Amino acid sequence: MDRNLLNVVDVEATCWRGSTPPGRANEIIEIGLTVVDLDARRRVARHGLLVRPARSEVSAFCTELTSLTQAEVDSGVGFAEACRWLVEEHGARERPWASWGDYDRNQFTRQCRVTGTGYPFGRGHTNAKRLFGEALGLPRKPGMAAALGTAGLPLEGRHHRGEDDAWNIAALVLFLVERDAWPGAGARQPR
């Protein structure tokens, strides 16, 4: 029997304090991915992939926020190769995926369109931020760090690093699974 796996994805992108400078664009510079086994109710793999931007540089503000430097992302893979990695290594076209909000999905959509790269994901996306807010009856959907606090979970690693954020979002997914509030996780199994 196939395992019921979910890819939890978080990206970091080039950014600037204030508006985007002329001639620049937000580009993915890190893809964090945590694989969640929904049946076993645990995180089973953790990955981070640096992605080399083609049309922008890492600003001082971006380094302050993410800790990523231009030299680090220069050693990363190109965006098309990163998308192939998602498909070939993590079954991104077949496996459902989740992110905290719609930013990650929208960033992939924009960047794939601009670069002519095939979109790496299938249709099965869940906005974990929206689902968390609905499940807890919150009038405002919290950011990831605030949601961890609400759930009584620790923030592990550095906030605004894709690999760490994907790991933390996966913990929130499992929090929702335990509350029977995650689609496709099935009813709570007796232990």
pLDDT, tens digit (0-9, with 9 covering 90-100), for 131-177: 999 999 999 999 999 999 999 999 999 999 999 999 999 999 999 99
Per-residue pLDDT of 25-70, as tens digits, reads 999 999 999 999 999 999 999 999 999 999 999 999 999 999 999 9
Q: Write out the two tokens for 122.
A: 């299938």
**All structural domains of the chain with their residue ranges:** 5-178
189 has pLDDT over 90 = no
Per-position b or e across 125-144, b if 16+ CB within 10 A of its CB: bbbbbebbbeebeeeebbeb
Residue among 79, 86, 170, 77 nearest 121 (CA): 86
Q: Give the pLDDT band of residue 12 (cuts 50, 70, 90).
A: very high
State the pLDDT at residue 125: 97
The reported pLDDT for the residue numbered 187 is 52
CB within 8 A of 60, min separation 6: which ones? none
Give Cα 60 to chain centroid, integer Å: 23
Q: Which amino acid is at 56?
A: S
Per-residue pLDDT for 178 more than 80? yes
Q: What is the pLDDT of residue 3?
A: 81
CA distance 53 to 122: 24
Provide the percentage of residues in the chain whose pLDDT is more than 70: 96
* 84-102 residue pLDDT tens: 999 999 999 999 999 999 9
Q: How does DSSP classify residue 116?
A: T
pLDDT of res. 1: 40
Q: Rounded distance, CA 46 to CA 26, Å?
A: 24
Side chain identity at residue 117, one-letter code: T
Q: How confident is the model at residue 185 (pLDDT cuts 50, 70, 90)?
A: confident
Considering the four listed CATH numbers 3.40.50.620, 3.30.450.20, 3.30.420.10, 3.40.50.10070, the one that applies to the domain covering 5-178 is: 3.30.420.10
**How far is Cα 124 from Cα 6, in angstroms, rounded to an integer?**
10
The DSSP secondary-structure symbol of 77 reads B
